[in-house]
Each structure stands twice: as C-alpha cells, then as structure tokens.
C-alpha cells in the first residue's frame, strides 16, 4: 500500500510517498481503509520535532514513520478480541498513539474509534476528533455574556472553538494572522485581532476566559489579559511556556484571584462525539480549506504549518 513516510525531523521535503507492507491488526486493533485524514498542528510539530514535546518517544528520529492521527474510513480487518467493529463499518477517531493516517490503510486501537454518523462525509468526520476535543473542553467555561479570547482562532481547533463559545452566548475575540480575520468573523467572532500587529495582552482589555492554542508569552502577560476570577487555558505552544504555566502560572493565579494553566485534553470518542452531534444537527459548521491526495501531503502540511489554511486541510488517500 502507499504511505507518506519520513525518517528524520525536518521540513516537508523529508516526506516521500513509498510502497510499504500492508499492516495486520494485533489484538484489540482494527485496520481502517483510510478515506480521509485531517491535518492537525500536532502533525506539523511531529514533522519538525519541535516544540520539544513533539520528540517524546523519539528523541533523535521520529517514533512513527507515517503521520496523520485524525482518520475516517472503512474497517477492512479486525484483530482478536475486537468486539465493537467488523469489516465494512464506517468509523472515525483520533489515532494519536499509532498515527499512520497519511496512508491507504492504518491500524488503530478499537478504543480510539467510533461509528461515523451517516450524515457526515468522511472528510467532515476526519476534521472533528482532535480539534473537536480541544475546542469543546477549551470553551467549556464560556457562558452567556462572558468575554472570551481565543488565540490561534483561525486554525482547526479555533474554528470550532469560536462557534462553540458563540453558541454559549459569549462575546468572542479571535486572534490570528491578517489573512484569517474575515474567516474568523464569518464563524461568529465579535472582534478580531491580528497577532502580527497587536499583542492581545497589551490592549487594555481583560477577559473571563483565554483559550490559547499557541502560547509563547510570559505568565505575567497572560495574567494581564485576565479579568478578576478569569481563567487562562493553554493547549499548545513552546515547551518552556507550558512548563512555566504549570509552575509559576499556578502560583500567580492563586495569588491574584485568577486561574492560569495548561489544559490536558481528555481524548477519545466520548469526548468528541458531542461535537459531531452538533455538526449533524447543523448547529456547528465544519470548515474544510481543501481536500488533497497523498502525493500532496508535503505541500498540504506546509500550507497548515505556515498558517495559510482557513479551517481544516484533509488528505484523501483513495
């Protein structure tokens, strides 16, 4: 079967399409004929080996040869002990532990997957698992009338997060580059900020909730952006910033009547299915920037990693 592989960290040039042996499912695993895999920033980070946490399990060279964790497709073989699926079932899920979605077939533990709603296409379903859990859990504290700021709001998780926070009745400020301002407004953002021009921690505004998808500032800058009782949650960013948030951030938060920390996202079907239900009911829109073939994975990753994608980029290996 065809797969996009890499053997060293680097730019998209290190990726190539190869014929690799068809994998067989072990106990508890299923093999999925991949119809669609959406790209996450975590794929870009694992390609580059940066931030440092992207090298967990593979300090010098990548632990997995094929990236791609958000898969949707059809089960074509099941391993021993698999009870929830059989060949022919349409499934989707976040296969973060094994990856392998940029290929014609991928192995996944059955626990990572669930049945795909018939109302969603494979491409749509593939956009939901990873970005969806981040957006759902990250916007959970948003309430009617609260002031919410989402940093990195024009990407995959952000495009769901804007809509979820608006649905909760919040006033939403969305931060991303200049090319994504209209896109973020179209998703419901009340105010937008171009991060290359303005620093949201220095505008003088204070927020009840800051959801940060790309954290790199000091704890004190984030504290400045919070209203009394407010909460700052970071889900991604530099390793140094994340470490400071879990150490200094916790103390600064307690001393100033705010909360600063890292959101460790709970993974798995029960956590992303509520978003799929909202998409099926038409209450949340799935934003797909483009759907491309396996051969175009390097260019597609660059498109996401360099921040040009409006919503999710999807790979369709078939």
Ligand X SMILES: NC(=O)c1ccc[n+]([C@@H]2O[C@H](COP(=O)([O-])OP(=O)(O)OC[C@H]3O[C@@H](n4cnc5c(N)ncnc54)[C@H](OP(=O)(O)O)[C@@H]3O)[C@@H](O)[C@H]2O)c1
Q: Is 163 in the site for ligand X (CB under 6 A)?
A: no
Rounded to the nearest whole angstrom, what is the least distance from the CB of residue 217 to ligand X in the complex?
9
Instruction: Take residue 57 and report the two structure tokens written for it.
Output: 């399990």
The one among 158, 230, 253, 269 contacting ligand X by CB under 6 A: 158
Q: How far apart are the first and last CA of the chain?
A: 11
Residue 10 belongs to what H/E stretch?
none
Under 8 Å CB-to-CB from 190, ≥6 apart: which residues?
171, 172, 173
Rounded to the nearest whole angstrom, what is the least distance from the CB of residue 157 to ligand X in the complex?
3
Q: Which residues in 36-75 contact ligand X (CB under 6 A)?
A: 40-42, 45
Q: Which segment (26-34, 73-81, 117-125, 263-271) binds ligand X by CB under 6 A?
A: 263-271
Nearer to ligand X, 195 or 220 (CB): 195
Q: Which segment (71-79, 113-121, 154-162, 269-277) binds ligand X by CB under 6 A?
A: 154-162
CA–CA separation, 131 vs 112, rounded Å?
Answer: 15
**Residue with tokens 């024009």, as numbered in its chain:** 154
Residue spans of beta strands (DSSP E) within 79-115: 90-94, 105-109, 113-115
Rounded to the nearest whole angstrom, what is the least distance from the CB of residue 94 to ligand X in the complex?
8
Q: Where are the alpha helices (DSSP H) in 168-249?
A: 181-186, 219-224, 239-244
Nearer to ligand X, 30 or 153 (CB): 153
Rounded to the nearest whole angstrom, what is the least distance from the CB of residue 146 to ligand X in the complex?
21
The 10 Å Cβ neighbour count of residue 192 is 20
Instruction: With CA atoms as reference, report the closest residue to 125 among 87, 71, 180.
Output: 71
Q: Is 129 in the site for ligand X (CB under 6 A)?
A: no
Rounded to the nearest whole angstrom, what is the least distance from the CB of residue 242 to ligand X in the complex?
9
Q: Is 201 in the site for ligand X (CB under 6 A)?
A: no
Rounded to the nearest whole angstrom, what is the least distance from the CB of residue 231 to ligand X in the complex?
15
**SS3 state at 229:** strand
Binding site residues, ligand X, CB under 6 A:
40-42, 45, 130-131, 134, 151-152, 154-158, 175-177, 180, 195, 213-214, 235-236, 263-265, 304, 307
């Amino acid at each position: 079967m065809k797969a996009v592989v890499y053997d060293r960290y680097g730019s998209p040039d290190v990726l190539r399409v190869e014929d690799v042996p068809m994998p067989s499912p072990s106990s508890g695993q299923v093999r999925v004929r991949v119809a669609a895999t959406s790209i996450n920033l975590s794929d870009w980070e694992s390609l580059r080996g940066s931030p440092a946490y992207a090298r967990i399990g593979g300090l010098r060279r990548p632990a997995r040869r094929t990236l791609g964790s958000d898969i949707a497709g059809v089960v074509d073989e099941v391993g021993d002990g698999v009870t929830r699926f059989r060949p022919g079932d349409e499934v989707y899920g976040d296969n973060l532990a094994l990856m392998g979605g940029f290929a014609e077939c991928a192995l996944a533990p059955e626990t990572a997957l669930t049945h795909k709603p018939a109302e969603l296409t494979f491409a749509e379903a593939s956009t939901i698992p990873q970005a969806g859990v981040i957006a759902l859990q990250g916007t959970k504290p948003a309430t009617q009338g609260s002031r919410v700021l989402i940093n990195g709001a024009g990407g995959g998780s952000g495009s769901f997060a804007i809509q979820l926070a608006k649905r909760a009745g919040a006033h939403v400020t969305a931060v991303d580059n200049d090319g994504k301002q209209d896109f973020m407004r179209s998703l419901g953002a009340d105010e937008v900020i171009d991060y290359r021009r303005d620093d949201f921690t220095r505008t003088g505004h204070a927020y009840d909730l800051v959801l940060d998808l790309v954290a790199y500032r000091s704890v004190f800058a984030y504290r400045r952006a919070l209203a009394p009782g407010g909460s700052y949650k970071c889900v991604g960013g530099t390793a140094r910033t994340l470490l400071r948030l879990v150490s200094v951030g916790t103390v600064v938060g307690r001393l100033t009547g705010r909360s600063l920390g890292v959101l460790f996202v709970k993974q798995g079907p029960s956590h992303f299915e509520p978003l799929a239900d909202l998409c099926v009911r038409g209450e949340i829109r799935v934003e797909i920037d483009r759907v491309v073939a396996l051969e175009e994975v390097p260019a597609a990753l660059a498109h996401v990693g360099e921040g040009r994608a409006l919503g999710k980029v999807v790979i369709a290996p078939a």
